[in-house]
Amino acid sequence: MKKIILGISSSISAYKACDLTRLFVRDGYSVFPLLTENAAQLVSPLALEVLSGNSVYAETFPSERREMVHIELKKDADLFLVAPATANIIGKMANGIADDLLSTTYLSVKCPVLLAPAMNPDMWSHPAVQANIEKLKERGVNFIDPASGLVACGDEGTGRLADINDIFNAAKKLV
Ligand SMILES: Cc1cc2nc3c(=O)[nH]c(=O)nc-3n(C[C@H](O)[C@H](O)[C@H](O)COP(=O)(O)O)c2cc1C
């Protein structure tokens, strides 16, 4: 069974990770959700645990476990997908910052990486964000670009999380 680490960072669209998890599970993939601590405010870790059938990870130093979670998780991973990917997690990945479980695990994986950014259109077009994306692309990281339209804050432009079916299909091309 192919193993997908599904990173979820704290965009308002984080709830869509639940439906994305279902698409993968129905198609026979094993999904390991890995949330940033902020994302756990926006989507239920319990819902992701039930939908994936696997433990949900968020803490680098969980009180009940002794192993190094980022090393355990990355073993046998076939794809490292972050959906949604915030401006913050993209910036950390581009610059080698490893200050939480998601960014630390990214630095340790050897499998293909796919990011599905989601953010306000002004954030998306910011030169810092675009420069980070270019840096990651140069290193072989794959992207599924955000869609255009109305975003949750009421602004209009490019920044909405890509359709989950499109993310699912892009992921399947890599794994
Ligand atoms: C309700 C809410 C929605 C947010 N949506 C987004 C978003 O879509 N994209 C983004 O880059 N940041 C968004 N942010 C800001 C991030 O949550 C913030 O930058 C945070 O520090 C990112 O942490 P993380 O990357 O560790 O999850 C949102 C914040 C709030 C409170």
Domain count, the chain: 1
Q: Which atom of ligand 1 is nearest to the CA of 102?
A: 26
168 pLDDT above the threshold of 90: yes
Question: What is the predicted pLDDT for the residue at 65?
Answer: 62
* Segment among 79-88, 134-143, 153-162 with least mean pLDDT: 153-162
**pTM score, two decimals?**
0.96
**pLDDT per position as a tens digit, 85-107:** 999 999 999 999 999 999 999 99
**Containing H/E element for 84?**
strand 79-85
Q: What is the percent of the chain with per-residue pLDDT over 70, rounded to a whole number?
A: 97
Dihedrals phi, psi of 138, to nearest 5 degrees: -60, -25
Is 153 labeled as catalytic in the residue annotation? yes
Catalytic: which of 153, 155, 163, 169? 153
Range 59-64 contact pairs with CB under 8 angstroms and sequence separation of 24 or more: 59/101, 60/100, 60/101, 60/104
What's CA 47's distance to the chain center, in Å?
16
pLDDT band, residue 156 (cuts 50/70/90): confident
Nearest CA to ligand 1 atom 3: 12
Question: What CATH number does the domain containing 144 carry?
Answer: 3.40.50.1950
Tokens of 70: 């980022």
**Best probe residue, ligand 1, of 43, 82, 88, 130 (max atoms within 8 Å of C-beta):** 88
Domain that holds residue 92: 3-174
